[in-house]
Amino acid sequence: MAFIPHTPADVEAMLAAIGVKSIEDLFDEIPANLRVKSLAGIPDELNEMQIGRLMSERARTDGRPLCFIGAGAYEHHIPAAVWAITTRGEFYSAYTPYQAEASQGTLQLIYEYQTMIASLTGMEVSNASVYDGASAVAEASLMAVRANRKSKSQRILVPTTLHPHYRKVAVATAGNQGLRFEEVPYSSGEGVIATASLAKYEGEDITAIVIQQPNFFGRLEDVDALTDWAHARGIFVIAVVNPTSLALLKPPGSWGTRGADIAVGDGQPLGVPLSSGGPYFGFMTTRMEYVRQMPGRIVGRTVDLNGRQGFTLTLQAREQHIRRAKATSNICTNQGLLMTAATIYMSLMGPQGLERVAAASHARTRELVTALTRMKGVRLAFQGPSFHESVVLLDRPVAPVLKSLANRGILGGLDLAEFYPELGPALLICATETKTTADIDSYVAALGEALQSARAA
Amino acid sequence: MSKVPADLKYTKTHEWLRTLADGTIEVGITDHAQHALGDLVFVEVPETGRAVKAGEPCAVVESVKAASDVYSPVTGEVIAGNSALANTPETVNTDSYGGGWLMRVRPAAGGPATELLTPAQYEKLQQEEGD
């Protein structure tokens, strides 16, 4: 089936109308040496039957490993109804609808999503989602520069307890726009922001601090004290939160005396499958007073000419199709389909369901940590409360151990060597409600064998 | 035809200027500008104490159809922003030359200013732009 509606005759007519001979001639302004001659390395096309076969062969090689990796993407049970409903034709679009008169259902769904996310985070207003948690942090940093009008420095404090990828994406996205990201170290015994290291910022102009809760190590930061410390110095607080954890933990809207100014996070735990890393979606919320500085789409509830309830995109004057280069962001699109799944997930789970998922994940991780740290050669890296992840230290390099576990069908966690080499052989592990006691026993047995065989060898 | 008071000066970007008794300058957008924007829903004025340069965006006026920058006609220091507009942006529509003022600036001595127009010149500019 041809997806391009123009026939060769149409193309001829259009080219003739503007006086060029071929489509190639349209590109003659680009110097020849800058043009890619051929798509070397790209294989020939396959038809639907061939590609279907290739993909199912590749899918088989994935196997069905037991996954104990978290680190920003979490395996949760997704009720079958979530994607059965999400993939209905009425919802099946990646985009926010502009045409309110033809899109009331989708617009209402986005409005419900915003309401649920605002309620979960305890914040006043939510947008219709952004790409993912990492890009949400970058956008939140840019937003803080616009909204914190008392600060001129564009300096953003990013503790190293923030996800390493989020830090990288923030620098890549906003580093060339004049923002300076300054890393704040963590306390080596506790795995939380080293508050003593904040003293050197006394009296300096800092635009915002990013606080992840639970942090990348799974540990809980003292968010109340950090938020009040920042606000007393005119520093904006950007909260980065796991939505599942909010069923148990204090929402960012209630951190400290005033609450966080912007709260963001990755929405993947809410009904989005791991799918090798994406697509996911990011959520973004703030106080009403900063709503005009928030990027992205926002759906509002209104009444039509006859006084009936209706939904429509609102506050669009901030966006790129109206404000061009001065828009709040040049990424105004949202992750419509993933956000749809999350809305359905949240409505099926309800507050109690989400709380049970959070509590079960916390309990399973504790069970796993307790079992592992009983073993010779495994100990806990950080003391103090955590949510559903923990760092354990091994008595030998992590990579070969993980390989050995993988051979036994177990993804044993994330090797932190690349991100935190100073920790030594450190492994970030996670168990959600999807893991049973038998699964945890399998992990413990496999790790025991892996450590034993290495010892024998 | 929009109102163009005779006692004010104007800019090509549709701001008006009023020199106050103490030598400071009050700045707003013209009747023509508010009419072109339509009903205002939000006005962002500069912080007191901010240093502004002539030609620099210093305020934002947002209507239901567009958000536009307001440019400072002079170089100087902002001594007041009209914070009442935060709750009543429509004042810019109803009283653009009075209660709808946006900011007051103390011009720097000998500082640069953008090209200023007389009322007659501004009326002509409006006609050229098809008011």
pLDDT score at A456: 56
- Report phi then psi at A168, rounded to 5: -65, -45
- Contact indicator for A82, A341 with CB cutoff of 8 Å: yes
Per-residue pLDDT at B26 exceeds 90: yes
Burial class (CB in 10 A: 0-12, 13-18, 19+), A239: buried
Per-residue pLDDT at A457 exceeds 70: no
pLDDT grade for A371, boundaries at 50, 70 and 90 = very high
A193-227 pLDDT, tens per residue?
Answer: 999 999 999 999 999 999 999 999 999 999 999 99
Q: What percent of chain A has pLDDT over 90?
A: 82
Per-residue pLDDT at A454 exceeds 80: no
- Contact indicator for B53, B72 with CB cutoff of 8 Å: yes
Per-residue pLDDT at A37 exceeds 90: no
Per-residue pLDDT at B50 exceeds 70: yes
In this complex, the residue of B47, B62, B69 whose CB is nearest that of residue A317 is: B62
pLDDT score at B65: 80
In the A/B pair of chains, how many CB contacts fall below 8 A? Answer: 21
Taking the CA of residue A293 and the nearest CA in chain B, the distance in Å comes to 11
Q: Across-strand partners of A390?
A: A429
Q: Around Cβ A31, how many Cβ atoms within 10 Å? A: 7
pLDDT score at A290: 95
The residue whose two tokens read 């952004």 is A130
Three-state DSSP class for A89? coil
Per-residue pLDDT at A348 exceeds 90: yes
A115-130 pLDDT, tens per residue?
Answer: 999 999 999 999 999 9
Per-residue pLDDT at A106 exceeds 60: yes
The nearest alpha carbon in chain B to A148 belongs to B47
Q: Where are the domains of chain B?
A: 11-110
Count of all residues that appear for chain A in the document: 457
Report chain B residues whose CB lies below 8 A from the CB of A326: 67, 69
pLDDT score at A36: 81
Amino acid at B71: Y
Q: Do B64 and A149 touch (CB under 8 A)?
A: no
In this complex, the residue of B41, B67, B69 whose CB is nearest that of residue A322 is: B67
pLDDT grade for A329, boundaries at 50, 70 and 90 = confident
Report chain B residues whose CB lies below 8 A from the CB of A323: 66-67
CB contact residues (below 8 A), chain A span 144-183, against chain B: 149-150
In this complex, the residue of A149, A150, A317 whose CB is nearest that of residue B67 is: A317
Cα separation of B3 and B12, whole Å? 16
Taking the CA of residue B131 and the nearest CA in chain A, the distance in Å comes to 22
The nearest alpha carbon in chain B to A146 belongs to B44
Report chain B residues whose CB lies below 8 A from the CB of A292: 42, 44, 62
In this complex, the residue of B47, B66, B69 whose CB is nearest that of residue A317 is: B66
For each of the domains in chain A, give its residue range(s) and CATH number, in order of start. Answer: 66-74+350-456 (3.90.1150.10), 80-345 (3.40.640.10)
Identify the residue with better confidence: A165 or A92. A165
Q: What is the CA radius of gyration of chain A?
A: 25
Q: Do A150 and B65 touch (CB under 8 A)?
A: no
Q: Do B66 and A292 touch (CB under 8 A)?
A: no
- Quote the pTM value: 0.89
Q: Do B67 and A318 touch (CB under 8 A)?
A: yes
Q: Is A323 in CB contact (< 8 Å) with chain B?
A: yes
Cα separation of A117 and A342, whole Å? 10
Q: Around Cβ B12, how many Cβ atoms within 10 Å? A: 15
Q: Is B56 in CB contact (< 8 Å) with chain A?
A: no
Per-residue pLDDT at B82 exceeds 70: yes
Mean pLDDT of B4-14: 95
- Contact indicator for A427, A391 with CB cutoff of 8 Å: yes
Give the least confident one: A415-424, B39-48, B79-88, B105-114.
B105-114
Q: Is B45 in CB contact (< 8 Å) with chain A?
A: no
Q: Of A363, A362, A421, A413, nearest to A392 (Cα)?
A: A413
ipTM confidence: 0.79
CB contact residues (below 8 A), chain B span 57-86, against chain A: 62-67, 69
Give the least confident one: A135-139, A321-325, A336-340.
A321-325
Query: Domain B11-110 classified CATH 3.40.50.12780?
Result: no
pLDDT score at A326: 80
Give the least confident one: A37-46, A168-177, A396-405, B23-32.
A37-46
Taking the CA of residue A271 and the nearest CA in chain B, the distance in Å comes to 36
Q: Across-strand partners of A392?
A: A380, A427
pLDDT grade for A323, boundaries at 50, 70 and 90 = confident
Per-residue pLDDT at B7 exceeds 70: yes
Q: What is the mean pLDDT of chain A?
A: 94
In order, the DSSP letters of A282-307 are: EEEEE-GGGGGG--S-EEEEEE-TTS
Taking the CA of residue A317 and the nearest CA in chain B, the distance in Å comes to 5
The residue whose two tokens read 């079992």 is A371
The residue whose two tokens read 């004025």 is B45
Q: What is the mean pLDDT of chain B?
A: 92
Per-residue pLDDT at B130 exceeds 80: no
The nearest alpha carbon in chain B to A147 belongs to B44
A213-222 pLDDT, tens per residue?
Answer: 999 999 999 9
The nearest alpha carbon in chain A to B62 belongs to A317
